[in-house]
């Protein structure tokens, strides 16, 4: 089944986690197996078919090690193993072999297939179409749910549009999601059950069909200990995700907004998620007497509230809707929020310049980096690893803006540049 997320919003992680919780709850005490993979367009290790299939295979073998005997021949030696792990088609065949050998029902949830590269999306869709259309394939114990925007290759599959105005089933799912969240609110006073009913009705109306908004709000409400606090918190939270993002940013201190805007530009436009040390270097933040530069960055990130998240040590936007919001042109017409609007080519130009800065002041200005000494230099120049591998990607994104910003006049771009050679 394909859940069409409709509006530009990738990786509806809140929805996929809710699905996983439901599937795992129903699988308790049974032989059902539940698998999850969340794609990430900013992470080169998580946006392709190879990564998806590796994860599904690993999860199956972890949950049922005895199945390894059915694919052992594919991993007879190191060379064979490397070939298998690098080929999406070979991995697909391995996954298919495991699926057929597994007596348990397998539920797979794949979040954000549209965040993968076009080749991977096409290949994955073709494999699925061939697999499910095969007359000889028995598949009653294999269920797959894909959450993504509309994809041409998935048209043949059952599709549910996750838009409350378009689909009765979607309304039902959102109501159920709200009900599950509200049930966790418990205050021992008479009549609180009626208050929870009203809360649920308000959440449904103000969420605009966004599971993520409901998750944000209910998590905040769960921290309250009285009815008054709950109702006050609910009244303060605006309707819909864009309004919530606007509220977060409009409440930031005026003198902090330029650096927060720069932080959001880096996180939004970065080729991959950044760690805190890289962000500190990118923002040119120095330590103070009492605070490290990393702690200062963490403080800035916390000021951005629910817009940013930490995932395995890397920082990124909580959701594609936050990126869409920052790129939305309407921010330019708001005197308070205009600094937070991101113009893509300008942001790429700014980041290109910062990357070249990092390269020109590093050891690369006079010698080549050779491992293992390179690791020590990368530790000293926190942004150097990112800059040396990705500056040209940002330069492409900046296009003609590089000329108007005079970046191409720098020594690095001269016909003869020893730094560029190194």
Query: Per-residue pLDDT tens for 72-118?
Result: 887 877 777 888 888 888 899 899 889 888 888 899 998 888 888 88
User: Are 66 and 179 within one domain?
Assistant: no
Same domain, 262 and 388: yes
Res 8: pLDDT: 40
What angle in degrees, to the nearest 10, is found between the helix axes of 344-360 and 384-398? 140
Q: 99 and 140 in contact (C-beta within 8 Å)?
A: no
In this structure, the answer to whether residues 209 and 78 fall within a common structural domain is: no
- Token digits for 217? 């709000």
Angle at 252 between CA 281 and CA 278, to 5 degrees: 15
Residues 259, 387 share a domain: yes
Claim to verify: residue 255 and residue 344 sit in the same structural domain: yes
CATH label of the domain that carries residue 22: 3.40.50
pLDDT-above-90 percentage for the chain: 17
Q: How far apart are CA 137 and CA 118, in angstroms?
A: 27
Assess whether 206 and 292 both reside in one domain: no
Do 260 and 406 lie in one domain? The reply is yes
pLDDT tens readout for residues 112-122: 888 888 888 88
pLDDT above 50: residue 11: no
Of 51-55, 379-383, 400-404, which range is least confident?
A: 379-383
Mapped onto helix, strand or coil, the DSSP state of residue 52 is: helix
C-alpha count within 13 angstroms, C-beta hemisphere, residue 20 = 17
The mean per-residue pLDDT over the stretch 23-41 comes to: 84
As for how many domains the chain has, the answer is 3
- Residue 167 CB contacts under 8 Å (≥ 6 apart), including other chains: 160, 161
Residues 259 and 388 in one domain: yes
Predicted pLDDT of residue 55: 92
* Whether the predicted pLDDT of 221 surpasses 90: no
In 268-343 the beta strands, taken as DSSP E runs, fall at 308-311, 314-317
Q: Is 41 in the same domain as 180? A: no
What average pLDDT does the structure give for the chain? 81
Per-residue pLDDT for 380 more than 60? no
Give the residue from 119, 141, 161 where a domain finishes.
161
Cβ-proximal residues to 295 (8 Å cutoff; 6+ apart), any chain: none
DSSP 411: G
Same domain flag for 79 and 173: no
The residue range of the domain holding 6 is 2-161
Give the contacts of 158 (CB within 8 A, at least 6 positions apart).
1, 2
Q: Which of 137, 161, 185 is the last residue of a domain?
A: 161
pLDDT in tens, 238-283: 888 888 888 889 989 999 999 999 999 999 999 888 889 999 999 9
pLDDT at 374: 54
For the cut 70, the answer to whether the pLDDT of residue 171 exceeds it is no
* DSSP-derived secondary structure letter, 274: B
- 138 and 52 in a common domain: yes
Last residue of one domain, picked from the residues 95, 126, 161? 161
116-166 pLDDT per residue, tens: 888 888 888 888 878 777 644 555 688 888 888 777 777 777 777 665 544
Is the full-model pTM beyond 0.85? no
Residue 5 scores a pLDDT above 70: no
Shared domain check, 108 and 39: yes
């Amino acid at each position: 089944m394909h859940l069409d997320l409709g509006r530009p919003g990738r990786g509806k992680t809140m929805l996929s986690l809710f699905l996983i919780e439901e599937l795992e709850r129903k699988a308790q005490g049974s032989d059902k197996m539940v698998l999850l993979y969340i794609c990430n367009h900013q992470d080169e290790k998580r946006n392709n078919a190879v990564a998806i299939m590796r994860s599904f295979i690993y999860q199956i073998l972890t949950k049922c090690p005895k199945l390894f005997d059915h694919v052992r021949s594919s991993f007879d030696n190191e060379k064979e193993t490397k070939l298998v792990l690098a080929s999406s088609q070979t991995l697909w065949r391995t996954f298919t072999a495991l699926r057929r050998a597994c007596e348990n029902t397998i539920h797979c949830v794949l979040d954000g297939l549209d965040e993968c590269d076009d080749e991977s999306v096409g290949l994955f869709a073709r494999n699925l179409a061939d697999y499910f259309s095969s007359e000889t394939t028995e598949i009653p114990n294999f269920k797959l749910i894909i959450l993504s925007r509309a994809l041409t290759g998935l048209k043949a599959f059952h599709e549910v549009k996750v838009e409350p105005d378009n689909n009765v089933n979607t309304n039902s799912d959102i109501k159920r999601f709200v009900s599950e969240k509200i049930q966790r609110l418990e205050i021992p006073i008479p009549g609180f059950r009626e208050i929870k009913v009203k809360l649920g009705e308000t959440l449904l109306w103000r969420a605009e069909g966004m599971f993520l908004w409901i998750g944000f709000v209910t998590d905040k409400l769960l921290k309250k200990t009285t009815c008054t606090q709950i109702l006050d918190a609910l009244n303060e939270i605006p309707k819909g995700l864009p309004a919530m993002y606007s509220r977060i940013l409009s409440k930031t201190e005026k003198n902090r907004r330029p650096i927060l805007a720069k932080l959001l530009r880096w996180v939004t436009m970065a080729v991959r998620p950044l760690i805190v040390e890289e962000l500190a270097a990118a923002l040119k933040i120095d330590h103070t007497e009492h605070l490290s530069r990393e702690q200062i960055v963490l403080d800035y990130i916390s000021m951005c509230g629910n817009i940013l998240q930490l995932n395995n040590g890397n920082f990124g936007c909580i959701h594609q809707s936050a990126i869409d919001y920052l790129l939305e042109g309407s921010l330019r017409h708001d005197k308070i929020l205009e600094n937070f609007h991101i113009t893509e080519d300008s942001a790429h130009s700014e980041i290109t310049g910062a990357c070249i800065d990092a390269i020109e002041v590093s050891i690369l200005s006079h010698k080549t980096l050779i491992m293992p000494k390179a690791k020590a230099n990368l530790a000293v120049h926190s942004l150097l690893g990112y800059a040396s591998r990705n500056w040209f990607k940002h330069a492409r994104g900046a296009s003609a803006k590089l000329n108007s910003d005079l970046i191409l006049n720098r020594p690095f771009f001269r016909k003869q540049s020893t730094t560029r050679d190194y």
